[in-house]
Amino acid sequence: MISWLKGMLQSNALTPAPAPAAAQPLPGDKTLARQLALVIDLNVCVGCHACVTSCKEWNDGGAAGPLSDQNARGANPSGTFFNRVQTYEAGSFPLTETIHFPKSCLHCEDPPCVPVCPTGASYKRAEDGIVLVDADKCIGCKYCAWACPYGAREMDPSAKVMTKCTLCADRIDDVRLPVAERQPACVLACPTNARLFGDVHDPDSLVSRAIAERGGQPLMPEWGTRPANRYLPRRGLGPDDGDAAPGGRG
């Protein structure tokens, strides 16, 4: 993972990434007409964990919720977080920088977690591409967790069913909410607007334009899962950038 981050950082510094065209459905292709996803700007994520705690709060329901953290600082911590922020140091001393890297389910377009499920509990929602788990069908076998190469699935130790980021599908689907609030809790909470949300198959959407204009990249594309989420790479290391000295930006 660290090498992937360094590679993305360095390649972006030297050569602007080509602007990828928004994926379009092809006849007979498995690609869905609509694919909701997150686009995360690594330039402005400050690692504050507001997205982590808002996700936890919304999906966990507070101290009385079902996804409790047990023995969080003990030898065998048990905790359920659908969204985590990992922090890395990139570069070589003294030209190093800190990268905060939020990661949750990437809502892959070819999700290996889905076909391995023996009960059909794990599925990709046809209308918008969100990958979900039907708790009523899940038997807690963890096949999907083993199949996911990103470690994005979380076992609920209380209910003994698999859980994961749903992009807050309950918020998206809730017509009682104002339209502006029908978004993932993490997106609404982020104080730096590092998290964008929308349809990455609509070339005119905010997320598609961000991907096209700023070289949005999938995480570990060589794994063949076609992640729907994208990351906007860090800028500023190249000699042509405004603050040319590596590590010179704030």
- Token pair belonging to 248: 């010179």
CB proximity list for 242: less than 8 A, separation 6 or greater: 236
Q: Assess 160 for contact with ligand SF4 (CB under 6 A).
A: no
Exposed/middle/buried for residue 94 (C-beta within 10 Å: 0-12, 13-18, 19+): exposed
Residue 162 makes contact with ligand SF4 by CB under 6 A: yes
Tell whether residue 121 is a contact of ligand SF4 (CB under 6 A): yes
Q: Is 209 in the site for ligand SF4 (CB under 6 A)?
A: no
Among 51, 90, 113, 207, binds ligand SF4 (CB under 6 A): 113
143 token code pair: 């096949």
* Among the residue ranges 21-29, 103-111, 172-180, 198-206, the one whose residues contact ligand SF4 (CB under 6 A): 103-111
Q: Which of 141, 169, 212, 220 binds ligand SF4 (CB under 6 A)?
A: 141
Figure out which of the listed residues 13, 22, 148, 168 binds ligand SF4, where binding follows CB under 6 A.
Answer: 148
Measured from the CB of residue 80, what is the shortest distance to ligand SF4 in angstroms? 14
The rounded distance, in Å, linking the Cα atoms of 14 and 214 is 14
23 binds ligand SF4 (CB under 6 A): no
CA nearest neighbour of 165 among 67, 82, 56, 226: 82
Map residue 133 onto helix, strand or coil: strand
Task: Give the H or E element holding residue 14.
Answer: helix 2-14
Which token pair is 55?
């996700």
Q: Using CA atoms, how far apart are residues 188 and 96, in angstroms rounded to an integer?
A: 31
102 makes contact with ligand SF4 (CB under 6 A): no
**Whole-angstrom Cα distance, residue 247 to residue 134?**
46
Query: Of the candidates 106, 132, 207, 232, which one interacts with ligand SF4 according to CB under 6 A?
Result: 106
111 belongs to the binding site for ligand SF4 (CB under 6 A): yes
What's the CA gap between 120 and 195, in Å, rounded? 31
One residue of 35, 80, 122, 205 binding ligand SF4 per CB under 6 A: 122
User: Could you tell me which residues come within 8 angstroms of residue 62 by beta carbon, excluding any fewer than 6 positions away?
Assistant: none
Q: Is 167 in the site for ligand SF4 (CB under 6 A)?
A: no
- Nearer to ligand SF4 by Cβ, of 51 and 133: the residue is 133
CA 208/CA 50 separation, integer angstroms: 24
Q: By CB under 6 A, tell whether 32 contacts ligand SF4.
A: no
Q: Is 139 in the site for ligand SF4 (CB under 6 A)?
A: yes
Q: C-beta of 81: minimal distance to ligand SF4 in Å?
A: 14
Residue 22 CB neighbour total at 10 angstroms: 18
Q: Does 133 bind ligand SF4 (CB under 6 A)?
A: yes
Give the one residue of 85, 105, 186, 196 binding ligand SF4; rule: CB under 6 A.
105
Where along the sequence are the contacts to ligand SF4 (CB under 6 A)?
105-108, 111-113, 116-117, 119, 121-122, 131, 133, 138-144, 148, 150, 152-153, 162, 164, 225
